[in-house]
Amino acid sequence: MYEKLAEYLLSSTYVIVFTGAGISTASGISDFRGPNGLWKKYSPEIASVEFLQRDPKSFWEFYSTRMRGLFEAEPNTAHKALGELERMGLVQWIITQNIDGLHQKGGSKNVIELHGTMRKSYCSVCFESYDSMDILKRIDSGENPPICSCGGLIRPDVVLFGESVKKIEEALNIASEADMVLSIGSSLTVYPANLVPKTVKDSGGKLIIVNMQETPFDYMADEVIRDPVEIVLPELVKEIKERTKAKS
């Protein structure tokens, strides 16, 4: 079913995967800009550093609800397929915009989280690190907003609107070495994260896009697939295994 995609992957030597919120929707996590996206229900302002500083109580009411949803979610077949492709030596890195930790739960080891992780929180003054599950317990007990022992405000270890993306230089260096990028479930509209697939293409590599909606990079892609990622990736693994078995 995805013979051409399998050929691209097997003929490449340094493959990276770039993922957005669309890979996690099958795990019950809302994306941001899709038809039922998070920003259809909330203003993006609530995820800004300015809102955190202005109204930390409302900020944490929103984020504690998001955290619970992310912590309850399990990796879907797409996450697991990527973990398997890494174990097979066919994928070198996953560079993700997601903060849900599902790639790691799905078995992937080499993961760069450009927008941070919901699994951790930290003090905005002394930078002491906290497990977000412990912070949720404190909020449940009535401590909202949660405060560090130094008196500083505790916040999630995620990139908020108005803040710089994490590890972007490392991600772009990796992208410049890759000869193929598989962009999965991303609208490719968020800068500078969207420079990752563009860098691979600009460096002479192949760009494959798997996304249900159109993206601004479709015109430069070597292949665009509109099927659900939780179907595409397991089928890709199946196709590769069949080819490998046939050769042995």
Is the pTM here over 0.85, yes or no? yes
pLDDT score at 245: 78
Band (pLDDT 50/70/90 cuts) for residue 84 is very high
Q: Known binder of ligand: residue 176?
A: no
Over residues 48-60, the mean pLDDT reads 94
- In the chain, the domains with their CATH numbers are 1-27+76-115+166-248 (3.40.50.1220), 30-72+118-158 (3.30.1600.10)
Over residues 142-147, the mean pLDDT reads 96
Residue 248 in this model has a pLDDT that exceeds 90:
no
Query: Do residues 2 and 166 lie in contact, with contact meaning Cβ atoms separated by under 8 Å?
Result: no
- Catalytic one among 66, 115, 201, 206? 115
Active site residue 103: no
Mean pLDDT of all residues in the chain?
A: 92
Residue 209 in this model has a pLDDT that exceeds 70:
yes
Q: Known binder of ligand: residue 186?
A: yes
Q: Known binder of ligand: residue 87?
A: no
